[in-house]
Amino acid sequence: MKIICIGLNYSDHAREMGKPLPREPLVFLKPDSSLLKKNKPFFIPAFSGNIHYEAEIVLRICKLGRSIAEKYASRYYDSITLGMDMTARDLQSSLSAAGKPWEIAKSFDGAAPLGEFISLDEAGDVNNISFRLEKNGKTVQKGNTSLLIFSFNSIISCVSRFFTLKTGDLIFTGTPSGVGPVNRNDRLTGYIGDRKVIDFMIK
C-alpha cells in the first residue's frame, strides 16, 4: 500500500508557513514503514531537534482506480480518520533551502501515526467535518473540511492521474493552522467531531 499526502491544503496553514497558496495539489508520499497504529508511542528520532505534529483527515481508498473523474471520486473511499503528518521541520527547512527534496523529513519510521477509522455514515457531510487536536489536553489545531483548498474528490481525481489507487491506500488531506513542536512525554489526542480517534504519547 502507499500513503499519498497533500501539502498546504488549508489557507491558514499556508499563511503560517509563509507559503503562497498552491494552484495544484502539492503531492508527496510516505512509505508504509512510516505507519504507526493502535496509539503506539511516537519516538523522537535522533536526527531531528524539531519534530512537528500536523493533524490531518485521512481517507481510506476502497476500490482500484486510475484517472478517476471528480464526479465519481466519492465512490473510491469508504472511511476516514485522523492521521499525523509528523515532520522533522529542521530537516525540511534545510533541505528545501538547499533546493533538495525534503522527502526524508516526512517519511521516516513512525512519521504517520494513524487513528481508528470511522465510516462515512458516522462522519456525516464530508464537506463539513470538524476535527481538532489536543496537546496535553489543550486544543492546538482546529479544522473543518469546508475550508479545504482541494476537496477530497478533487484530490482523488488529481492524484489518480499519476498513481493507480488501490484498496487500502491512504490519503492525508492536509493540515490546518496551529502546527507546532512535540517534546518527550507530550500526549496528542485527536477528535473527529466529538469522537476521539487517536491518542498517543511522544517518547
Nearer residue to Zn ion within complex by CB, 54 or 169: 54
Nearer residue to Zn ion within complex by CB, 65 or 131: 131
Rounded to whole angstroms, the Cα distance separating 127 from 119 reads 15
- The residue number whose beta carbon is nearest to Zn ion equals 85
> How many CB atoms neighbour CB 185 within 10 A?
9
**Side-chain half-sphere CA neighbours of 139 within 13 A:** 10
Q: For residue 25, which amino acid is it?
A: P
Least Å from the CB of residue 72 to Zn ion: 26
Instruction: Tell me the C-alpha to C-alpha distance, in Å, between residue 187 and each of 83, 111, 135, 136.
Output: 14, 16, 6, 5
Least Å from the CB of residue 8 to Zn ion: 8
The grid coordinates of residue 57 equal 483527515
| Binding residues for Zn ion (CB under 5 A) | 54, 85, 175
Least Å from the CB of residue 172 to Zn ion: 6
Of 192, 170, 200, nearest in space to 123 by CA: 192
Nearer residue to Zn ion within complex by CB, 141 or 157: 141
Nearer residue to Zn ion within complex by CB, 85 or 169: 85
Nearer residue to Zn ion within complex by CB, 32 or 122: 32
Least Å from the CB of residue 71 to Zn ion: 27
Of 106, 96, 84, nearest in space to 174 by CA: 84
Nearer residue to Zn ion within complex by CB, 65 or 133: 133
Contact 3, 172 (CB under 8 A): yes
Of 128, 145, 148, nearest in space to 21 by CA: 148
Least Å from the CB of residue 106 to Zn ion: 7
Least Å from the CB of residue 103 to Zn ion: 13
Of 58, 70, 36, 184, nearest in space to 117 by CA: 58
